[in-house]
């Protein structure tokens, strides 16, 4: 009886670890851009809106779903006209919520 219980618990442990694995998840976006047929790198962009919570050499944005997202700024992005509390729309590259790679804000527009 103890062996059966041990085997069931072991199987449950293996299945729970396998379900939490990051490998082989379908539909997960890649943070690194893929080269196109011509050999150039294509960067996909997306847009999100929210309120600026903090601005330094990075941006903390309070999204419309009440979650926070940190962005790095693209080189040459002028942030001088923005202040904490402004409602903005941010165009970015990368993947939101990825702990290994911070999305990069490429354009910011006040709403």
What 3-state DSSP class applies to 19? Answer: helix
Domain boundaries, the chain: 45-110
From the number of C-beta atoms within 10 Å of its C-beta (0-12, 13-18, 19+), residue 94 rates as buried
What integer is the mean pLDDT of 20-34?
48
pTM exceeding the 0.75 threshold for the entire prediction: no
Residue 110: band (very low, low, confident or very high) from pLDDT cuts 50, 70, 90? very high
- The CATH topology of domain 45-110 is OB fold (Dihydrolipoamide Acetyltransferase, E2P) (2.40.50)
Do β-strands 87-93 and 45-55 pair in parallel, antiparallel, or remain unpaired? antiparallel
Instruction: Tell me the Cα Rg of the chain.
Output: 20
Q: What is the pLDDT of residue 103?
A: 92
Tens of pLDDT, residue by residue over 42-76, are 568 899 999 999 998 999 999 988 889 999 999 99
């Amino acid at each position: 009886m103890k062996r059966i219980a041990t085997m069931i618990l072991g199987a449950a442990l293996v299945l729970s670890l396998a379900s939490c694995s990051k490998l082989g998840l379908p539909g997960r976006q890649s943070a690194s851009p893929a080269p196109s047929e011509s050999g150039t790198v294509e960067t996909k962009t997306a847009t999100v809106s929210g309120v600026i919570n903090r601005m330094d050499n990075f941006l903390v944005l309070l999204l419309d779903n009440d979650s926070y997202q940190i962005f790095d700024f693209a080189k040459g992005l002028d942030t001088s006209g923005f202040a904490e509390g402004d409602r903005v729309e941010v165009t970015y590259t990368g993947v939101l919520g990825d702990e290994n790679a911070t999305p990069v804000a490429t354009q910011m527009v006040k709403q």
